[in-house]
Amino acid sequence: QCSAITAQEYDRLADEAMDKLVTFFEDLGDGMDIDAFDVEYSQGVMTLILGDVGTYVVNKQPPNRQIWISSPISGPERFDFSVDRNAWVCRKTSDTLGKLLERELRDALAMADLAVPIK
C-alpha cells in the first residue's frame, strides 16, 4: 500500500530526508573516533557503518513510497510519510524514522545529546 502522497511529493520528501541524514552522519563521523566508521550514499541507498555497533542501511522504496531501514539493533522496518505528523512513521510501532535512529544511536554511541535532523 502506498503512502497518501504523490510520487513527486515522495521523491522530494524522501530525497530531503536522505540528504539530511547523509550530511548529518558525515559530519558526525568527522567528529568521532570510531574504527571502521563510514557513510556511503548511492542510488537512494545510505549505508552507515559504525564499527562494532554494526551497519545500518536506509533506503528509498519508490514503488511503495516508503523509506526502509535495516538496523543492526532493531532489525528491518518500513516507514510511510505521515502528512499529519510531517514525518516518516512506522505503521507497526508509530515510531518515526528520526526518533528510532536517535534512540538507538544515543545508546550505541553513548551520546545522550545526539539529535538526528529529521522527525
What stretches in the chain show pLDDT beneath 70? Answer: 1-3
For residue 3, the model assigns a pLDDT of 60
Cell of 112: 545522550
What does the angle CA 85 – CA 87 – CA 88 come to, to the nearest 5 degrees?
130
- Calculate Rg over the CA atoms of the chain: 14
Cell of 100: 528510532
Strand (E) or helix (H) holding 24: helix 7-30
Q: Is the dihedral of CA 33, 112, 49, 12 positive or negative?
A: negative
* Separation of alpha carbons 48 and 40, rounded Å: 7
Give residue-wise pLDDT tens across range 2-15: 568 999 999 999 99
